[in-house]
Amino acid sequence: MLDSEGYRSNVGIIIANCKNEIFWGKRIKENSWQLPQGGVKQGESLEEAMYRELHEEVGLRPEHVRIIGRTKEWLHYNVPMNFIRKECRGFYKGQKQIWFLLRLIGQDSDVCLYSTRHPEFDEWKWRDYWTTLDVAIDFKRKVYSQALKELSVILFPSRT
C-alpha cells in the first residue's frame, strides 16, 4: 500500500541481544547486509506486521523477544530508479518506516533463516550497535542511522 506521496508503509526491526549487539542479516545470494524489515499489509497493525516479518525473515516468534522501543515518526528513504520495477516507476518513491527495538529474550538457536520458502537472508551475525553502516546498501544507510540514533537512548541511557 502506497501513501499519497508514493511511499510504501514498512516496519524495520532492530534486535538487540544481552550485550546490546544487534542482528544483521546477509541478503540471500548477495554481499550486502541489512536489518530485518518488511511491508505492512492492508488491515495489519504495525506491531502485527513487525511480528510477521520477524518470523518470516528471522524465524523468531513473540515469545522470543520483548518490544522495548519504537521510533516516534515515520522515517523515509527513496529507492533508486534502477531498483524500482518498471511498472512501478512514476508513482513509487520508496519506503516509510516505523522502527521497533526488540530485546532477544530467547536464544541464538531460536533464529531460523529458513522459516519460510522464500528466505531473505542466508547468513546472520551480531554486530556492535555502533558498527559502521558501510555493510548496508547505500540508500538505506541514512534511515538506519536515524533509527539507531533515536532508539540508542533506550539501550545506552548514559550517552544522552
Residue 160 pLDDT level (bands cut at 50, 70, 90): low
CATH superfamily of 7-154: Nucleoside Triphosphate Pyrophosphohydrolase (3.90.79.10)
50-72 pLDDT, tens digit per residue, is 999 999 999 999 999 999 999 99
What are the CA-CA distances from residue 79 to residues 7, 97, 99, 157 (Å)?
10, 13, 18, 33
6-21 pLDDT, tens digit per residue, is 999 999 999 999 999 9
